[in-house]
Amino acid sequence: MFKYEGLKKILFMFNPETAHAIAECGLRTLPYLKSIDNYMVKRNFIISDDLQQEILGMTFQNPVGLGAGFDKNATMIRGMKALGFGFTEIGTMTPRPQEGNPKPRLFRHPNQKSLQNAMGFNNEGSFVVAKNLAKVYPYSIPIGANIGKNKTTPQEHALEDYKILINRFKDISDYLVINISSPNTPNLRDLQNEAFITELFTMAKSLTQKPIFLKIAPDMEADVAIELCNTAVKSGADGIIATNTTIDYSLVPNPKDIGGLSGAVLREKSYELFKAIAKELYGKTVLISVGGISDAQEAYRRLKAGASLVQCYTGLIFEGPGMVRNINLGLLQLMHKDGFKNIQEVIGSDLK
C-alpha cells in the first residue's frame, strides 16, 4: 500500500485519461514480464475452496470481478489475475467505433475517493475488440462482454445494434451484459422500460445460450427497478447487475454537470437499491453487486444481501493493485469469524 501511495501521487499528477492510458500500458506489458507477473499472480490471486463457486456453468475462483469501463477494448485481460480478479468484464463495446464525448470527460473527486465520468462508450468498435478478445479467449477466469448501442443509432433501431453485438461476442465470451443504464449516451436510459426489455431479452435468448445479464441504473425508484428486473428475468435474463453510475450530483462538492459518479459516494445508494432488488429476486436469478465496493466489509455486506459476485473499478484507482487481495483475504476472515464454512453459506444469509 505504501508503494502504491507513491505511484498514485505520480499518476494523479496526470489528467485521469492519461493516467488510465499509463495503467493500460503497464497491464498490457505485464504478461511479458514473466517473473513480475508470476509474483503478482501468486501474491494477489487468492485461491481457496471456500471462495470458489460454480455459477451458470462458469467457475469463479473468487467472487471479486473487474467492472465494465476499465478495459473497454479487451487489451488488459491477461493482466487481471495479477491484480487478483476472479473474473473480468470488458467494454462497453458498440457495433461501430466511437470516439465518445468531448474531452475533458473524466474527473477525480479524490477527497471522496470517487470519479465522475462522461466517457460516452468510447471504444474501437466491436470488430476490433472481438479480434483482441479472440486472441485470449478462453481464459483462466471468466470474461464478460458488456455491450451498448452506438450514440448515432436511433432508438427505434437500438435492437439491431444489440443483435449485432450478441452475435459478435457470444462465442468469445463467457457471459454478456446488456448496458442500457449508462448516463453518457443520450436517451439510452429511456430504454429501461418493460416493452424494450421484453423484446431485447427475447431476441437475445434466441441467439445464444450464454448467460446474459441486465445492468441497471441506481437513479430509479426501487419499485420501478424491481419491476424492470422481474420483466428481464421473465424474458430470459440470467441475472441482474446493480448498479451503474449515478447522476445524483448532490453526492459530491463542486460536481461537473455531466457524466455519472462512481466510487465511495455511490456506496449507499447502490447498496440500498441492490438490497431492494435482492429482497424480491434472490433465489430466482443470479445477482451481481457493483458500486462503491473497495474493501472486504462492503463486499461481505453485498454478499450477505444476496450478491453471488461483486465488481470493483473506481476503488482500484484509489486503493491500488493490492485491493482485490485484501478483499478476498478479508472475506475469508469475516466468513470464518461468523461461522460460515464457505461463500455459498454467506450469500443471501441476511435474507434467510
Per-residue tens of pLDDT for the chain, all 352 residues: 458 999 999 999 999 999 999 999 999 999 999 999 999 999 999 999 999 999 999 999 999 999 999 999 999 999 999 999 999 999 999 999 999 999 999 999 999 999 999 999 999 999 999 999 999 999 999 999 999 999 999 999 999 999 999 999 999 999 999 999 999 999 999 999 999 999 999 999 999 999 999 999 999 999 999 999 999 999 999 999 999 999 999 999 999 999 999 999 999 999 999 999 999 999 999 999 999 999 999 999 999 999 999 999 999 999 999 999 999 999 999 999 999 999 999 999 999 9
Residue 118 known to bind ligand: yes
Cis amide leading into 253 (omega within 30): no
The distance between the two most distant Cα atoms of the chain, rounded to a whole number of Å, is: 53
The response to whether 244 counts as a known ligand-binding position is: yes
Rounded Cα distance, 208 and 185, in Å: 26
d(CA 276, CA 223): 8
Say whether 270 is catalytic: no
DSSP 77-99: GGGTGGGT-SEEEEEEE-SS-B-
Highest CATH level, class, for 2-351: alpha beta
Element (H, E) at 229: helix 222-234
pTM over 0.85: yes
Q: Residue 134: CB partners within 8 Å, gap ≥ 6? A: 172
CA distance 183 to 188: 7
Q: Which of 126, 182, 235, 308 is catalytic?
A: 182
The answer to whether 14 is a known ligand-binding residue is: no
